[in-house]
Structure 1
Amino acid sequence: MEDALSSLLQDVRPRGALFDQSVVMPPWSLQFLEGTPLALLTMLRGDGWVVRDGVEPVPLRHGDVAIVVGPAPYTVADSPDTAPRAFIRDDHRCTTPEGALVLGGDLPMCPLESQEETGVVLLKGTYQLHGSVSQRVLSVLPPIARVPLPPEGCPALDMIQREVGRDVLGRQVVLDRLLDLLLVSALRDWFELPHAHAPAWYRAYRDPVVGRALKLIHGDPARAWTVAGLAAEVGLSRARFARRFSDLVGQPPMAYLTDWRICWAADLLAETDETVAAVSRKVGYANAYALSVAFKRTMGLRPTEHRALARATG
Structure 2
Amino acid sequence: MSDPLAEAIAMLKLKAVLTKTVTGAGIWRVRRSDEGLSFYCAVLEGACRLEIEGEEPLTLHAGSFVLIPAAYHFALTSLIPPASPRVESTPVEVAERHFRLGDTHAAPEMLALVGHCMSESPDARLLVSLLPEFVFVRDEKRLSLLVGLLKDEAQAQRSGKEFILARIIELLFIEAIRSATTLTTPGLVRGLADPRIAQAIRLIHQDPARRWTVKALASSCALSRSTLFERFTELTGVTPMGYLLSWRMTLAMQLLCQTGATVAEVAERIGYGSASAFSVAFTRYVGVPPGKYGQYRAAVKDGELAESG
The TM-score range, normalised by the shorter chain, is 0.7 to 0.9
For residues 72-111 of structure 1, the aligned pairs below 5 Å read 72-78=72-78, 79-81=80-82, 83-86=87-90, 102=93, 107-111=96-100
Specify which of 248, 261, 265 is matched with residue 274 of structure 1.
Answer: 261
Matched, 1:261 2:248: yes
Specify which of 258, 275, 283 is matched with residue 270 of structure 2.
Answer: 283
CA contact (8 A) 1:14 1:126 kept: no
In structure 1, the residue matched to 2:50 is 50
Shift of 1:45: 0.8
Q: Deviations over 1:65-92 (max 9, x none)?
A: 22235453533221432733225xxxxx
Partner Cα separation in structure 1 for residue 68 and residue 194 of structure 2: 30
Amino acid of the structure 2 residue aligned with 1:164:
K
Partner Cα separation in structure 2 for residue 44 and residue 246 of structure 1: 43
Partner Cα separation in structure 1 for residue 219 and residue 72 of structure 2: 47
For residues 104-253 of structure 1, the aligned pairs below 5 Å read 107-111=96-100, 118-129=108-119, 130-132=121-123, 135-138=126-129, 141-142=132-133, 145-150=134-139, 153-161=140-148, 164-165=151-152, 167=156, 169=158, 172=161, 173-190=163-180, 192-193=181-182, 196-199=184-187, 202-225=189-212, 230=217, 233-234=220-221, 236=222, 241-250=224-233, 253=240
Partner Cα separation in structure 2 for residue 177 and residue 296 of structure 1: 33
CA contact (8 A) 1:7 1:133 kept: no
Amino acid of the structure 2 residue aligned with 1:67:
L
CA contact (8 A) 2:28 2:81 kept: no
In structure 1, the residue matched to 2:291 is 304
More deviation, 216-225/113-122: 113-122
CA contact (8 A) 1:280 1:287 kept: yes
In structure 2, the residue matched to 1:313 is 300
Partner Cα separation in structure 2 for residue 295 and residue 163 of structure 1: 38
Amino acid of the structure 1 residue aligned with 2:270:
V
Partner Cα separation in structure 2 for residue 299 and residue 11 of structure 1: 17
CA contact (8 A) 1:8 1:134 kept: no
Shift of 1:27: 3.2
CA contact (8 A) 1:51 1:80 kept: no
Structure 2 SS opposite 1:198: coil
CA contact (8 A) 1:280 1:286 kept: yes
Shift of 1:44: 0.8
- Give the root-mean-square deviation of aligned CA atoms: 3.6
CA contact (8 A) 2:42 2:147 kept: no
What TM-score does the superposition give when structure 2 sets the normalisation length?
0.74
Structure 1 SS opposite 2:68: strand
Shift of 1:21: 2.4
Structure 1 SS opposite 2:117: strand
Shift of 1:41: 1.0
Q: Deviations over 1:27-71 (max 9, x none)?
A: 344344554521111211111122356654332222222223545
Partner Cα separation in structure 1 for residue 14 and residue 124 of structure 2: 16
Q: Deviations over 1:104-144 (max 9, x none)?
A: x7x555235669985421111222122447634436644xx
Structure 1 SS opposite 2:173: helix
Q: Deviations over 1:149-207 (max 9, x none)?
A: 04xx33222343266357584683544433222222222234x40x61333x5444355
- Aligned residue pairs: how many? 288
Percent identity, aligned pairs only? 23
In structure 1, the residue matched to 2:60 is 60
User: Aligned pair in 2 of structure 1 residues 134, 218: CA closer, same or farther (>3 Å)?
Assistant: farther
Amino acid of the structure 1 residue aligned with 2:82:
D
User: Aligned pair in 2 of structure 1 residues 187, 114: CA closer, same or farther (>3 Å)?
Assistant: same
